[in-house]
Amino acid sequence: MKELEKGITKNGTGYGDTTWNILGQKYFPKVECDSSFAFETNSAPGDFVPVHIHPTQDEFILVQEGELDLKLDGVWSKAYAGDVVRMPRGIPHGYFNKSDKPCRALFWVSPKGKLKDLFVQLDNLSDVEQVVKVSAEHDVNFLPPEANE
């Protein structure tokens, strides 16, 4: 069992100086324990994560800088710096940086589940079909491309 460790994860870094490249976006792990996993993303204009479902995890996003367009349960909305997005388990969701500026956001899921292990396997993986396959093995299920429209 992994308990929460006390301490500070510095801005712009991951704990243990870990950084993942997930389809061109930088991810920094911030917190990890059995009950929760948090990571920061840095999304350039045009970056996105297609609509997908976490069947076993609730997910949250705190937009720190910039803005995100979100498709949450089939409905488009926009989140700005300071907004918190709530995505209950089982609800289809995706995020898209459709602006002309970078976006920095803190994501966290509860419980941790297999998400950290997924990110380790996705690091520097560029084959989208393989990303979808590996994600499904880690309880993240991508919807067909038309779900992103």
Indicate which CATH number applies to the domain containing 111: 2.60.120.10
Please indicate, yes or no, if residue 5 is contained in any of the structural domains.
no
| CA quadruple 67, 64, 25, 135: dihedral sign | negative
Please indicate, yes or no, if residue 31 is contained in any of the structural domains.
yes
CA end-to-end distance (rounded Å), the chain: 40
Check pLDDT > 90 for residue 128: no
Please indicate, yes or no, if residue 65 is contained in any of the structural domains.
yes
Looking at residue 17, its pLDDT comes to: 78
Please indicate, yes or no, if residue 32 is contained in any of the structural domains.
yes
CB atoms within 10 A of CB 36: 16
Please indicate, yes or no, if residue 137 is contained in any of the structural domains.
yes
CA 72, distance to chain mean position in Å, is 14
Average pLDDT over residues 42-57: 96
User: Which domain does 138 fall in, by range?
Assistant: 15-148
Q: Give strand pairing partners of 74.
A: none
Q: What are the C-alpha distances in Å from 6 to residues 12, 30, 33, 69, 102?
A: 19, 12, 11, 33, 30
Please indicate, yes or no, if residue 92 is contained in any of the structural domains.
yes
Q: How far apart are CA 42 and CA 27, in angstroms?
A: 7
Please indicate, yes or no, if residue 7 is contained in any of the structural domains.
no
Q: Give strand pairing partners of 52.
A: 93, 142
Q: What are the C-alpha distances in Å from 98 to residues 1, 3, 17, 101?
A: 39, 37, 29, 9
37-48 tens-digit pLDDT: 999 999 999 999
Q: Confidence band (pLDDT; 50, 70, 90) for 81?
A: very high
- Predicted structure pTM score: 0.91
8-21 tens-digit pLDDT: 888 877 777 788 99
State the total domains in the chain. Answer: 1
Looking at residue 119, its pLDDT comes to: 95
Helical segments of 15-55, H only = none
In whole numbers, what is the pLDDT of the chain averaged over residues? 93
Please indicate, yes or no, if residue 4 is contained in any of the structural domains.
no
CB atoms within 10 A of CB 61: 20
Q: What is the largest CA-CA distance in the chain?
A: 43
